[in-house]
Structure 1
């Protein structure tokens, strides 16, 4: 991230060309608006960072195809030299030339040509160094095809550009578009700029545009263009007095034929800069978070870190990245359109003044001419940071350099620390809009991410509170355990060779989250296609199923300019939460998943489960898209972000709890409706409160014994770390698939047997731990101090007296069911009623009896009922069964 330093934030606006409303593309869909195309192409410009280039920050789309671009800005430019009316020194000319060429060369490496080089687009920072502005306008507009104005300024355009004339795709006089400009066009523009600096005046300033163009085209007949220009502007003596290396530079830049004109890269290595190039060190791109290079190879810190915060007047905000400052500026009330309106760049007109022009038969014209406000006004408005700085004035300097260990508690707090601590308790949507809170969180996460993977545990701890939207992409990657040189791995995958899946991908992409401007852009579709194809090619044992595009969407949105990271996150996410879901024959995996989900509904909400089963509204009818896409098919992206912030902290069983919490939000409507009404309800899912969904999911997750969601088709065991919900909930939220298997673990169950049981099974090791029969692990008690679990032994009184779990209660199966299996007495009429709300584990020597007894409890709406897997026989070898003392 590029720090703000002495830069400012600037904004300029322009309109994209409007498309006809009644025309569709070859796929039958409406044409993508040009403003959407520009928005998509713009994104790559945010990644181009160089000391000679103004950093692009953001682009927003407004009404009538208006676009507003935000970028790094400086008030000073080469225009200031021209206004002084005197020639620049040869040393200054060579310095400016070299620095401009550095910026141009770096752009060319990324396939970008400036084409709009002019005196007011060559900015100067406070140290007098060059900063090229608006270098991305030609690229983002598809070489000018998506706007109604030409890119570039007549005085600075190269002859070959002028010879092409203006072009617009809708112009019927052109059979095909001219070739886009190459790097050499910018060298001519640079030559004109340098000539103006040497002459101390503007070139062709007082000549009409048509005459300027004719004059430039006639220069092709001249042997020495520099001399001709000097004679034309009456500065021949000034030009002749220049040092030979400066004259040679001007001649090389102002070479008429492009074939003989050097490129910026060639000119940088030319001998004319032999005395200048040694003063500059080559630019090295900062090492990214996921690479094979050392990120901290040149890290330096003061001996006393408190020295960083001693100056009370220091501008700590200027040390933050430009992207961060802009994000905070928006949170502090910044409004781009309002800023441009205040500077009269955007002018509103009454509707009557915007009527189109029309012509009668006699040729008489009425109405107004072409609205010039739709042409390019390249004025850049400086965005004031006063409101933001005023909002952050109470944030102490120490907040910008947080310590990550225990010493943090001894730091002096800011005046608003109490306010910040109270902000944590507010709803997430409010926290995400709180400027001061977001500043603290962004700085903290920035530090933690830079220390990844060594501070991964602390990152997980902070992610439990919330994840700042600005760093969500990198935070998710860290939570998923992405490491290594992901770019090299991604580039090694063949994403170009046609494969059978291409057709389905092409069909699915135009339907995936296309309400989002970024993902609906042509660039978004290209990136979608590449990431999806990379996943399919790199996983030959799996296949593309519809829904994979929806899974890809959140990762691509957050890492739009880093396809490799989007691919790496997706590749880490699927095995964790959707293991074997994308097999060619995934029916057994899906059916097992849905059966476990059905048991989770019965476990947490038996009344709702009974109703849905009675009307035949089974999870197969509505839940497959939920789990196959991890809810990305049913929720918009902004809700998915908040949902997945918590999902990524949980394990593979957490989605079950999300599904149950969604059903519970719709509980009243589901209980009141029949099958047809429920089908209609889920065909257009009502609004779901995601924050409530997350909160209730965590509660359900903590109440669920970890073995209750065991699936034999889940991911293979691996080494586990922090489960994401804190040590107090470790038992309930740890992934059972990751635990080492013992004789007390839950055994695999055939799908037909699993479907036959209404309640989930729990393992003997779960029961031992929850009943506090083991010396390991904390006490599992409710807030009232009572144990969360009660063991119900349904064996006969004689068997119970021979040995049972300490603290269990005995309700013999024969007292509830008759010899023929008919219900004799409801099991909840007795002592069991006192234990409603706790986790009830039904224990028997026969699993069929335990399943029948548990189903009976569910039928009478008893929640949190499960069965001990393996029955009492699993516990006999442990020596934990107790025998009651004989009565004396």
Structure 2
């Protein structure tokens, strides 16, 4: 969106038509409220940016089908110009006509018409340029079908519109809706506006002109000749639409030739993900010192940013409208359409005028926001992106913001000053993407401002190139077998959200999902794909191509092969690793769940298939995925463990039936708590392999804590066998660690001991279960030898508990079981888990993997 500059924020409100409560649609579901339909159609208006159009910013839905629209606003209008009682100069008339036509033509290119053109909807900025307001009302209300009032003003409506009369879908007297108004309707309205500008007596009634249509041409001729635009005004005021030109045709009229050369043709800004070169046109004044004189830094920010900050600073739309008496509360009894007394006599009231359109626009004061940001230094609006900024002196506001970083995420997201700084920084970084990709990653580890989350996620997923062109080449219209399942799933996917539940949301859902299915012929649609699509579609509602690109990049990274036609082996593999992680972190809980038969197959498949979008509402998914996108493919396991940990006490106290009921309606939980535990859990995992796929590529990453930024060094581990199946590894309850990770974890060398904590105790202990003879031939320095034969009989029966004795002193540390046979190592580790030893794992490949490394030591013979 363009900068706020000298504009203001304005809000107006209206009611959508109420639907009957006892009527359902053809699918058996309740009808979608008209207010939600309007909310969905409104979204595209936010993308229509032109110098002659007031920028739409937001829409909110209130009680009783009330809608409040926020848009760019200017106090001055053409009505104010008319009230001065002076006729406009010919030059001014041509300027206004040309600028209005520019705005109308741009709307027409987007398939829209104004239909509500009037003197008070033609606003004027400080330079006297035209800004058309309320141009989206006709579009968002489905040509007036979703409201109880007509769109437009009788004094300016074209004859063909008046001839159609009023229409409402619930009116039984109309068989079908009239055709929507076209571009020529606005040309008539513009003709009336120009006629008013030229007329000396402004109270000349429009109805009188129609009554004396025979002399109307003479009146127009006299006025038009005086202003030098005879043919133009006469064609605008033609009673027949067929002989009336369109805005595009009028702009080519020779009368505008001298005016058009004074204007620079509008060029749509290049999007972030495209093949076009992105550049900025910069002009510096002759005297650089003039650059900052009288500069209001906030006015240079985008309109949507200013509105977002206005809301954070305590802005309340309904309160503002109530203060101006646009919204008036009434006692409940006064809002009833009628009521009946005991004797059967009924009393009613006339039509409530408040449900009709009040086109008053209330200006939203920015004083509170400016006062909130008064201590933010000017340098904060233009941050340095490189290391040089660390050498700059910090102001008091900078020190306060540094302290804000340590606060919980939910507080940071509601802090006006903090969000201003973060939004400005991310805006600069994203405009420089992909060249500043590393800095985007760095700042995302702190947090991601909600206002830029959609683009930030796209950057974290590495989206590049002309995504729109690629998306347009995908056939999203030809019927395919999957269409039926998509149609069934969409009405059940996050329909609590007003945006996704709107008809426009369903259309976009269908297109993005179908594009993914068509473009991935080796994969299939599984239930849950719609839930995966929901976060991306919500954040990129007006950019289907970006939603599709993000989903296409997300699935291979976190759901590799999950959408194969036969994905049973992939899911079983995933569940096996998850079971081993539960055993590793919480053997007591793992043992209990296994004893009652509550295995991950019963509850965890929807978790991983939808990356928890089936478990949590969208606002919690956003925070979870902010961290997930910074991590690797093993992070979902950690989220699953975190969920079980939060429910640990309830799970341990209940049996199978109670656990089933608990997971059928899983509580939302504390997202900060989840993230805290996930970060703790992920610190024990790295290099997870599934079917030969490397899921982690970095040793170190920064993860955002729920309360503070912290650095986590990922040194661990786990490595299931490459041909792992649920059946073959059911007894292998502990995960495996690779030899490379064991060496790195322990910092083993020919001379170095195992890695130790600050207290001097080793963080990891190696338990070598080979015989004493094999142990003496070579072992890891500092390892403990507990021969398998001393603990288990040849038939696998437990002889003595290896956990009693020396291993009790190592409870809580990572225990790596080393053997020459994986079966015996798995049995030994399983027993350790059974007696509730946490953090037990197995060396993958056994001692043979360590022999070529040269790190095994042989004890010196005693003399």
- Same fold by TM-score, threshold 0.5 exceeded? yes
Query: C-alpha separation between the residues in 2 aligned to 1:522 and 1:653?
Result: 37
* Corresponding residue to 1:274 among 238, 257, 267: 257
Aligned to 2:693: none
Deviates more, 1:362-371 or 1:568-577: 362-371
Cα 1:535–1:85 change in 2 (3 A) is: same
Give the CA deviation at 1:163: 1.0
Is 1:513–1:519's contact at 8 Å kept on the other side of the alignment? yes
CA distance in 2, matches of 1:732, 1:171: 65
Change (3 A) 1:270 1:210: closer
| Distance in 1 of aligned mates of 2:637 and 2:568 | 18
Query: Does residue 209 of structure 1 match 2:192?
Result: no
CA–CA distance in 1 between the matches of 2:563 and 2:229?
74
- Cα distance 1:303–1:615, how it changes in 2: closer, same or farther (>3 A)? farther
Asked if 1:308 corresponds to 2:271, the answer is no
* 1:10 aligned counterpart, secondary structure: strand
Change (3 A) 1:228 1:878: same
| Separation of aligned partners in 2, 1:487 and 1:13 | 34
Note if contact 1:513-1:520 (Cα within 8 Å) is conserved in structure 2. yes
Contact kept in structure 2, 1:398 and 1:412, CA below 8 Å:
no
Deviations 1:858-888 (A, max 9, x none): 0111111111111001111121211112223
**1:294-342, CA deviations, whole angstroms, 9 ceiling, x for partnerless residues?**
11264678999999778xxxxx101110000000000000000000000
- Going from structure 1 to structure 2, the CA distance change for 1:776 and 1:30 (only over 3 Å counts) comes to farther
Quote the offset at 1:425 in angstroms. 1.5
Per-residue Cα deviation, 1:202-247 (whole angstroms, up to 9, x for no partner): x9975888767766xxx4896557249999999999999xxxxxxx
- Aligned-pair distance for 1:567? 0.2
Q: In the alignment, which residue of structure 2 is the partner of 1:599?
A: 580
1:222 is aligned to 216
CA drift of 1:453 comes to 1.2
3-state SS of 2:645 partner: helix
> How much does 1:257 deviate?
1.4
Q: 1:229 to 1:29 in 2, by over 3 A?
A: farther
Q: Is the 8 A contact 1:745 1:764 kept in 2?
A: no
Cα deviations across residues 509-568 of structure 1 (Å, max 9, x unaligned)? 000000000000000000000000000000001111111000000000000000000000
Shift of 1:485: 0.3
Task: Give the corresponding residue for 1:766.
Answer: 741
How far, CA to CA, are the matches of 2:334 and 2:463 in structure 1? 57
Distance 1:607 1:270, change over 3 A: same
Aligned-pair CA distance for 1:773: 2.1
Structure 2, unaligned runs of 5 or more: 668-680, 687-715
**1:849–1:214 distance in 2 versus 1, CA, 3 Å:** farther
Residue 769 of structure 2 is matched in structure 1 by 794
Distance 1:785 1:69 in 2: 64
CA shift for structure 1 position 36: 0.3
Q: Secondary structure at the match of 2:11?
A: strand
Alpha carbons of structure 1 residues 609 and 809: separation in structure 2 relative to 1, 3 Å:
same
Taking the aligned partners of 1:796 and 1:184, their CA distance within structure 2 comes to: 94
Farther off after superposition, 291-300 or 425-434: 291-300
- How many angstroms apart in 2 are the aligned matches of 1:786 and 1:100? 78
Rate the CA distance shift 1:362–1:350 in 2: closer, same or farther, 3 A.
Answer: closer
Separation of aligned partners in 2, 1:511 and 1:261: 48
CA 347–684 in structure 1, closer or farther in 2 if over 3 Å, else same: same
CA distance in 2 between counterparts of 1:335 and 1:33 reads 24
1: CA distance, partners of 2:724 / 2:338: 85
CA shift digits 1:246-269 (9 cap, x unpaired): xxxxxxxxx221111111111111
3-state SS of paired residue (1:279)? coil
Q: Distance between the aligned counterparts of 2:131 and 2:196, measured in 1?
A: 18
Alignment of 1:181-260 (within 5 A): 181-199=181-199, 219=213, 226-227=220-221, 255-260=238-243
Q: Identify the range of structure 1 (420-429 vs 609-618) with the bigger mean alpha-carbon deviation.
A: 420-429
User: Structure 1 pair 364/593, CA: closer, same or farther in 2 (3 Å)?
Assistant: closer
1:840 and 2:840 are equivalent in the alignment: no
* CA distance in 1: counterparts of 2:825 and 2:288, whole angstroms: 64
How far apart are 1:395 and its partner, in Å? 0.6
Q: CA RMSD in A?
A: 3.6
Report 1:191-590 matches (<5 A). 191-199=191-199, 219=213, 226-227=220-221, 255-296=238-279, 298=281, 316-357=297-338, 366-590=347-571
CA contact (8 A) 1:744 1:874 kept: no
Change (3 A) 1:136 1:235: closer
The secondary structure found in structure 2 opposite 1:449 is: helix
- Report SS of the residue matched to 2:642: helix
Name the CA distance, whole Å, in 2 between partners of 1:220 and 1:663: 83
Go from structure 1 to structure 2 and tell me whether the alpha carbon gap of 1:740 and 1:237 turns closer, same or farther (over 3 Å shift).
Answer: closer
- Cα distance 1:16–1:213, how it changes in 2: closer, same or farther (>3 A)? farther
3-state secondary structure, aligned to 1:377? coil
Which blocks of at least 5 consecutive residues in structure 1 are unaligned?
241-254, 311-315, 687-727, 747-754
In structure 2, relative to structure 1, the CA distance for the partners of 1:89 and 1:844 (3 Å cut) is same
Q: Is the CA contact (8 Å cut-off) linking 1:795 and 1:813 kept in structure 2?
A: yes
TM-score, normalised to structure 1, is 0.86
Given that residues 196 and 202 in structure 2 are in contact (C-alpha distance below 8 angstroms), is that contact kept between their aligned partners in structure 1? Answer: no
- Alignment of 1:814 onto 2:789: yes
Give TM-score scaled by structure 2 length.
Answer: 0.89
Aligned-residue offset at 1:787: 3.9
* 1:512/1:550 contact within 8 Å kept: yes
CA distance in 1 between partners of 2:719 and 2:106 (Å) = 51
Measure the CA separation in 2 of the matches of 1:449 and 1:238.
Answer: 46
Query: 1:368, CA displacement in angstroms?
Result: 2.1
Residues 138-188 of structure 1, C-alpha deviations (whole Å, 9 max, x = no match):
000000000000000111111111111111111111111000000111111
